[in-house]
Structure 1
Amino acid sequence: MLRVLPLALAAILALLAPPAARALECSNQSYAGNRYTLCSVAPERDELRLFLYDPGGKPYGDFDAVNARLAGEGKQLSFAMNAGMYHEDRAPVGHYVEDGTELMRVVPNEGPGNFGLLPNGVLCLSAHRARVYETLRFEKEHPKCRYATQSGPMLVIDGELHPRFLPDGTSRYIRNGVGTSADGKRAVFVISRNAVSFHEFASYFRDGLKLPQALFLDGNISRLYAPSLGRNDWGRQMGPIVGVVEDKLAAE
């Protein structure tokens, strides 16, 4: 009878097991003549959070302020990005939930600016999943979100580009957004490295990254924190911020 030592058996089982979801990975890529930086997040392994106000009720405003707060927990950011539109006082324009507490209701109606260019959508972070929902679908399904931020317009809806995006559109900015896989096990945050149109940006999520749902987060104010790529973008004070949190010891 063939005998297999415990360590050898464990190695064999590890080879036979399905691969685990990939953890945070940031990289620079090019697609259709444009340059992008993306950070791919696996919510099953990466602790993804939203940040807006510090314990004193003051907006964080930048990545360094979030890191300073996390240091008290023995943690730090390994990735972060601005995460939705906000008013002058940095309060969110649309739906916002942080650590289970709703700070702003869902705004379903059409309005001015990119946020009101319907359909818009909601990024919902729940236990080990991240999903982008079109707003009316979000209201209908009422998913349970530990964190949520509403922005707009949607970039990709069920594999289709937003109907208002034109291939020859002339509005071009540095833009950032997020796309999610159908099962919620993958979220990809993207910022362009050159000015792009909405059509170009949305096409990258659908055709380049093969993601069925994607949401525009902002343009012109877009900022990224990705220390693995040497990025800690500065600029105007931000409203909502999304980021992956890790233990400092793990990072070291």
Structure 2
Amino acid sequence: MRKLLLLLALCVAGAASLASAAAETRYTVVKIDLRRERLELFLRDDSGVEFKRLDRLEAWLAARNRQLLFAMNAGMYHADFSPVGLLVQEGREVAPLNLAAGTGNFFLKPNGVFLVSDAGPRVVESSEYAALPKEGVRLATQSGPLLLRRGVVHPAFIPDSDSRKIRNGVGVSGHTAIFVLSEQPVNFYEFALYFRDVLHCRDALYLDGTVSALHSPALRRTDFTRELGPILGVAVP
């Protein structure tokens, strides 16, 4: 069986860049080299029913002789589990780009899009995606806020914010997509600095908070927090 590169990482919150944090914060990091692994977006089964849970997706794939090596919630969704923003599966736009104003994390501008094209993975600001050529874009998911844009932390983030939650997100480095889940509550600023200063990403996107979930047989883990909308995953025959 092929194995993804899995990294269990520690971020020392007492370091200079995170001096305001009170204790060590642990993150689980999954790095996927998209030159070797194929990332997919999942939402509904063949009958149009949403998967909602990582174990249900795993069972559906197993019935088709495929093994789910990695999965993580892929962005924000409505009460009916449909995506709040853009969703592209296998080159087909399932939900349109959402550039509207609103309240909540998704609408904390700039928000962004994680995409995989023939050129590899990217995280871009949502309005930048609108101007991109869509030919060759195989998958895309929109969420918000952006954690990093060209190495700059989102301007609305507050270093000493007491809004601490379990959070997950995705950054890019070359041909590698880097997925991160905090195992302890963190604020947005700390989360962004982890991507920038520890993982050396210039662009990173917040995916979600309380619903953050990870599937990894290598880590003997299939999380269930709440039912999910879109799911990012790697599955093999």
What TM-score results when the alignment is normalised by the length of structure 2? 0.90
Alpha carbons of structure 1 residues 60 and 128: separation in structure 2 relative to 1, 3 Å: farther
Q: Is the 8 A contact 1:44 1:128 kept in 2?
A: no
Segment drifting more, 192-201 vs 230-239: 230-239
Letter paired with 2:10? S
Q: Deviations over 1:69-110 (max 9, x none)?
A: 222432111111000000011000000111222111111132
2:6 is matched with which residue: 7, 26, 38?
26
Aligned-pair distance for 1:224?
A: 0.5
CA RMSD in angstroms comes to 1.3
* Match of residue 85, structure 1, among 42, 59, 76: 76
Paired positions, count: 223
**SS at 1:146's partner residue?**
strand
Alignment of 1:223 with 2:213, yes or no, is yes
Q: Which runs of 5+ in 1 are unaligned?
A: 1-22, 248-252
Larger radius of gyration: 1
CA–CA distance in structure 1, aligned partners of residues 154 and 4 of structure 2: 28
1:163 to 144, 155, 162: 155
Paired position in structure 1 for 2:188: 198
Question: Which moved further from structure 2: 48-57 or 137-146?
Answer: 137-146
Specify the SS of the correspondent of 2:157.
coil
Distance 1:85 1:67, change over 3 A: same
Q: Is the 8 A contact 2:212 2:225 kept in 1?
A: no
**Distance across 2 between alignment mates of 1:24 and 1:137:** 30
- Whether 2:146 is the aligned partner of 1:154: answer yes
* Alpha-carbon contact 1:226-1:232 (below 8 Å) kept: yes
Identify the range of structure 1 (161-170 vs 60-69) with the bigger mean alpha-carbon deviation.
60-69
Structure 1 residues 53-64: aligned runs within 5 Å? 53-64=44-55
* Uncovered stretches (5+) of structure 2, i.e. residues with no partner: 14-23
State the TM-score, normalized to the length of structure 1.
0.85
SS at match of 1:139: helix
Instruction: Determine what percentage of the aligned residue pairs are the same residue.
Output: 45
Query: What's the CA shift for 1:128?
Result: 6.6
Following superposition, the deviation at residue 111 of structure 1 comes to: 1.3
How has the CA–CA distance of structure 1 residues 86 and 166 changed in structure 2, closer, same or farther, with 3 Å as cutoff?
Answer: same
